[in-house]
Chain A
């Protein structure tokens, strides 16, 4: 194995222990690790359990004040090559802990990163939460969700169809990680996305001086002449 290992990060918002959400995320992660190894790439797997960050979430939501655990989670995500994001469905939507976690991240923290979206629910009537709700959140974050969304109601856990979908999603993720898409986007066209100085977990510190605002800052005119 000549390449660096893939850094795969699981973000699971399962609330109980054991949790069906963790279980789905784990199965997906294990499959992705196995497939990557078949392709000759090792994987370094990190797991962020949103439940452990909950004491810090209110202050992050109210004042963008990230506690030490949040900052460690952000550092882990900055370095991620691929992400598995798994939420339990509560009251017909991804849980507040899950959406809260992703809503306080810098807008450009996850640009271009491939993501498997996964959700579990007590009934199959929530099956569209992954594709109708979670997918739009990750589109806003300008990530690259894989085509196959994963959803598991209780009956799915014993179904081979879920195993096949996990396999499919894992394969899609590994292929996207292998393609180096996220890195290429960041290297070649990072500047074409809107950023805030110091965002992307403090890594966005490039400054473009060739802008109308920078010309105005240095005594120039705001008006096109």
Chain B
């Protein structure tokens, strides 16, 4: 099973010492945090996408490529990539590039984004958020699987004879997760394509997560990708670990009380009772996380939000030591011992997807046809593309 962290890339004043980090510091520190994530034995770093202060992650693939370049094993991913306001053509190109540069150590998670003003900045309308998300993914799915795409939809300019470059690494598209809190259409799309489903699992009572995951699992089976229990599920979550439960609560409380979104609202105690938030001793955190599988079934990826709400970087690094050193090793052991043997322990890696597509054969390595002189190759872009290559007789 994969464990990792997810960052929303917020730049928040530390309520304890009144210090607000600069953008430069937070960007640099997230790279440090990511390297540390690998060092302590975790598997995944996910970063969100935002286009306004106080967030810095407007360009996730640049950041993730940098992280991938400085790590060996880590899978880099997003939490989430905006499938609504980004052009799916650009997503296809950028994440294929990230896939090449990371050697396949990446996947991506698609979400709609919940900030109304962002949509018009990119020429879109939040009232069309759901159809945009669904249509854009349909196009993205094809761009990574067909060398030449003719396409027409409701939102984007039509495409005629378009080829998204580079083709995915080994001509195997990145694994995709669809994230949603309460939209069955998104879970349905994830199930239809056999993609992963990721539940935010932070702000809401577990019933929301349970309902959506159950629905996704049923529909995954309905579309013939496997049994319901074999569907690929990821969960968010939030932890703060202390030597004792009291110490954990004392240290985390000022950050909780002032946090964006839920700060100045419910008490830490109430929020801990009613949501997946786990604040306490190592054993308490382990116990709470062990409970997640009881309502979502055996799952493949667990991400924790630990670098937000103004928590200083040193504290985040210390939390990673505790997570990687004391919590996750126990969780791995316990969760694997309970896992149904027919359920995959991990989401598909690039190697798994290559194996599934080619078996033991060599993966396809697309090589373009010659530039015709007008900087395009015509209707048959690669030497092995389907369709007849145009012949240009020497005149």
- A residues touching B (Cβ–Cβ < 8 Å)? 58-59, 62-63, 65-68, 196-198, 202, 205, 207, 209, 212-214, 216-219, 221-223
Contact = CB atoms under 8 A, between A and B. Distances in A.
Nearest to B223: A218
Which secondary structure characterizes the binding site on chain A? loop
B265 A207 contact: no
A65 B184 CA distance: 21
A62 B264 CA distance: 9
B147 interface: no
A65 B185 contact: no
B265 A214 contact: no
Which secondary structure characterizes the binding site on chain B? helix
Contacts of B252: none
Contacts of B152: 223
A216 B182 contact: no
A54 B83 CA distance: 40
Given A197-B211, A207-B184, A217-B188, 9 more contacts: A63-B203, A63-B262, A67-B274, A216-B134, A217-B192, A219-B141, A221-B153, A222-B131, A222-B153
Contacts of A222: 131, 134-135, 153-154
A26 to B, nearest CB: 31
Nearest first, the 5 closest Cβ-Cβ pairs linking A and B are A217-B189, A216-B134, A59-B265, A59-B266, A218-B192
B154 A63 contact: no
Of A66, A68, A197, most B-chain CB atoms within 10 Å: A197
Interface string B175-201: 000000011111011001100000000
B131 A196 contact: no
A205 B152 CA distance: 33
B276 to A, nearest CB: 13
A207 B203 CA distance: 23
B207 interface: yes
Nearest to B183: A197
B154 to A, nearest CB: 5
Contacts of B182: 196-198
22 contacts: A58-B265, A59-B266, A59-B270, A63-B203, A63-B262, A65-B266, A66-B205, A67-B270, A67-B274, A68-B273, A197-B183, A197-B184, A198-B182, A198-B207, A202-B207, A207-B188, A216-B134, A216-B135, A216-B138, A217-B134, A217-B189, A222-B134
B153 to A, nearest CB: 6
Interface of B: 130-131, 134-135, 138, 141, 152-154, 182-186, 188-189, 192-193, 203, 205, 207-208, 211-212, 215, 261-262, 264-266, 270-271, 273-274
Contacts of A207: 184, 188, 215
Nearest to A211: B185
Contacts of A217: 134, 185-186, 188-189, 192
Contacts of B273: 68
Contacts of B207: 198, 202
Given A63-B203, A65-B271, A197-B183, A216 B131 contact: yes
A62 B263 CA distance: 10
A212 to B, nearest CB: 8
A68 B275 CA distance: 12
A219 B185 CA distance: 12
Contacts of B211: 197-198, 202, 205
B265 A63 contact: yes
Contacts of B138: 216, 219
Nearest to A67: B270
Contacts of B262: 63, 65
Of A62, A65, A66, A216, most B-chain CB atoms within 10 Å: A216
A162 B274 CA distance: 44
Contacts of B188: 207, 209, 214, 217-218
A153 B279 CA distance: 51
A58 B267 CA distance: 11
